[in-house]
Amino acid sequence: MNPNTRKQLFTWTIASLTLGLAPFVPEPHIVGKIRWVAGGAIGMTGMDWFDLVFHGFPWVFLAFFIGKAGLEMLSKPS
């Protein structure tokens, strides 16, 4: 795996586990927002949508870099 990809993967893993899950008690904030959206997002304001994006973007980048690392490992010549 490319050292740069490994570094980015580590960085986004840490960001996802800290920013993506904060606050941790009583449940991760992103979980509550996803439940709210799944329930129809009734009563969500602009700040709630911003909060969803803010807590969700580390997970999107983490998924991207996991996919990138997987493709690098698959395309590496034997």
Q: Parse the chain into domains and list their residue ranges.
A: 3-75
Q: CA torsion, points 47, 49, 55, 56, in degrees to nearest 10?
A: -170
pLDDT at 78: 62
pLDDT given for residue 43 in this prediction: 93
- In order along its 78 residues, the chain shows pLDDT tens digits of 788 888 999 999 999 999 988 888 888 989 999 999 999 999 999 999 999 999 999 999 999 999 999 998 898 776
- 32's enclosing H/E stretch is helix 29-38
How high is the pLDDT of residue 39? Answer: 94
pLDDT at 3: 87
The secondary structure of the chain in percent helix, strand, coil, rounded to multiples of 5, reads 70, 0, 30
